[in-house]
Amino acid sequence: MTTPPLSLQDFVLENQFADLPPHFHTHLSASPIDKPYLVAASAEVAAQLNLDRTSLNSPEFLDYFSGNLILPGSEPLAAVYSGHQFGVWAGQLGDGRALLLGGRSHADQYLEIQLKGAGMTPYSRMGDGRAVLRSSIREFLCSEAMAALNIPTSRALCVIGSDQMVFRETPETSAVVARVAPSFVRFGSFEHWYYNDRMDDLRLLADYVIAQSYPELLAESNPYQALLSTVTTRTAELMAHWQAVGFMHGVMNTDNMSILGQTLDYGPFGFMEAYDEKHICNHTDQQGRYSYRMQPAIGNWNCQALAQALSPLIGSVDETNAALSHYPAIYRQKWTALMHQKFGLKTDHEGDLDLFAGFFTLLQNNHADFTLSFRHLSKLSDHKSTKDELLRDLFLDRDGLDMWLINYRARLAMEQSDEHTRQTSMLSVNPKYILRNYLAQVAIEKAQKKDFSEVRKLLSILGNPYDEQEEHDDYAELPPDWAKHLEVSCSS
């Protein structure tokens, strides 16, 4: 039986995290913001929450999801956690500008709502607890773009802006993002209790996560080992998804790693454009720890940090290592499967990895656009034709590409696949539209002038990244020259 969408008055939350002991969090209300206004909202996320989409345009919606009013049943709180930042133990961190409102179940799915930019908390350290409009728009759009790309991710219900000013490198207007996920528990949540030698609290948190998110693990002989194994698997697969679409997170600290294996905490992220495996999307990351090529290894490193924190519960070094040991194999298996899809191959062959490597070498040597290269590859015929030219135009070394295409087409011939079926399959996994930095920047600059049309247009386009949408062809073009100078850092 379908449950009718709820009005805001009937949109009652429960806060399961609030049932943990008081030292896990601090209860507090959001700091009000002046004259909130709607920048954009996701009707799809509203539907997942069973919230009536007509509510998205109401004044009450602005107050509830900016933090000016408290939703029925909500117990706003900021959670404490710790973490490793850029490989160094940073000690206690916590929700310095985020409040967990609570969650609700709908269609057999429990989702929590968190307001980012809702004001200072006891964990704000030197921060002001606010988020700027610029970074809030980026997080909103990327959360929804990643979901449309079928990559595990937190979602975003809305961005609500205000003319209230905050200071970063320069004064900027503020905003609040309503983030949505089944849980906001992080690797660093476990590290906090481990490094503070609070084993009872470590066990409480693990039991809470298993009961809430992994109830099937309760039947395992060692549920804590099973938890680590499951999170390791999900993280390895998430890294493969990131690499396959050219996504770079930018700040893979353990406090930014979801215990559910979802993409969490969008800060200085980026999508690969001119391919360079050493590319660093975060200007703050001077050493390149979180560069594109490092992400799979850092995912493994972070799982090892989680394993260290869980080891007292698991019981032995051998059992802990056993739960971790499959990370490389899971990553390779998932990445290889995704590559076969991207290259339109339905079967495994001994030389496939060399074939893939050859294409990535061409991408690297020619700094060809990652997304457009795979998109144009998807449209090639089984035999050389004029369709080759769109792909060839992206490469300076056309002879090298032509030689690779001979080998590629020979591999396709081995499968005797139908050309139209292969093209359709490849176009369904190689997106035409991604959130390029310059597209986000154009939308941000318009939004800063109170024109939110571009944010909402991008939301619509990125919601269907595999569709041709010929009327929006210009949103899939190579970035303009001025976009080469765009930089994103951790300062938002």
Tokens representing 346 are 């339905």
Q: Write down the pLDDT at residue 490.
A: 61
Nearest residue to 355 via CA among 403, 421, 417, 392 = 403
Nearest residue to 201 via CA among 211, 212, 210, 190 = 190
Nearest residue to 243 via CA among 143, 134, 315, 336 = 336
For 425-463, how does the pLDDT look when each residue is reduced to its tens digit (9 = 90+)? 999 999 999 999 999 999 999 999 999 999 999 999 999
Query: What Cα–Cα distance (Å) separates residue 468 from each residue in 156, 292, 392, 428, 472?
Result: 25, 27, 20, 10, 8
For 141-193, how does the pLDDT look when each residue is reduced to its tens digit (9 = 90+)? 999 999 999 999 999 999 999 999 999 889 999 999 999 999 999 999 999 99
Active site residue 402: no
**H or E element, residue 450:** none
For 314-363, how does the pLDDT look when each residue is reduced to its tens digit (9 = 90+)? 999 999 999 999 999 999 999 999 999 999 999 999 999 999 999 999 99
Q: Write down the pLDDT at residue 1.
A: 57
Q: Write down the pLDDT at residue 481.
A: 86
Query: What Cα–Cα distance (Å) separates residue 341 from each residue in 65, 112, 375, 428?
Result: 40, 33, 12, 9
What would the mean pLDDT of 82-94 be, rounded to a whole number? 97
Model confidence at 3, pLDDT cuts 50, 70, 90, reads: confident
Model confidence at 251, pLDDT cuts 50, 70, 90, reads: very high
Tokens representing 60 are 């009450």
Q: Write down the pLDDT at residue 169.
A: 84
CA distance 483 to 468: 24
Catalytic residue selected from 63, 95, 201, 255: 255
Nearest residue to 54 via CA among 13, 12, 99, 4 = 4
pLDDT tops 70 at residue 134 = yes
- Mean pLDDT, the chain, rounded, equals 96
Please name the residues in contact with 424: beta carbons below 8 A apart, sequence gap of 6 or more.
Answer: none
Q: Write down the pLDDT at residue 492.
A: 54
For 184-234, how does the pLDDT look when each residue is reduced to its tens digit (9 = 90+)? 999 999 999 999 999 999 999 999 999 999 999 999 999 999 999 999 999
Higher pLDDT, 485 or 209: 209
pLDDT tops 60 at residue 491 = no
Bridge partners (DSSP) of residue 167 are 171
What would the mean pLDDT of 402-413 be, rounded to a whole number? 97
Q: How many residues does the chain have?
A: 492
Q: Write down the pLDDT at residue 217.
A: 98
Model confidence at 126, pLDDT cuts 50, 70, 90, reads: confident
What would the mean pLDDT of 229-246 be, rounded to a whole number? 98
Q: Write down the pLDDT at residue 484.
A: 74
Q: Write down the pLDDT at residue 489.
A: 63
Q: Write down the pLDDT at residue 291.
A: 97
For 362-392, how does the pLDDT look when each residue is reduced to its tens digit (9 = 90+)? 999 999 999 999 999 999 999 999 999 999 9
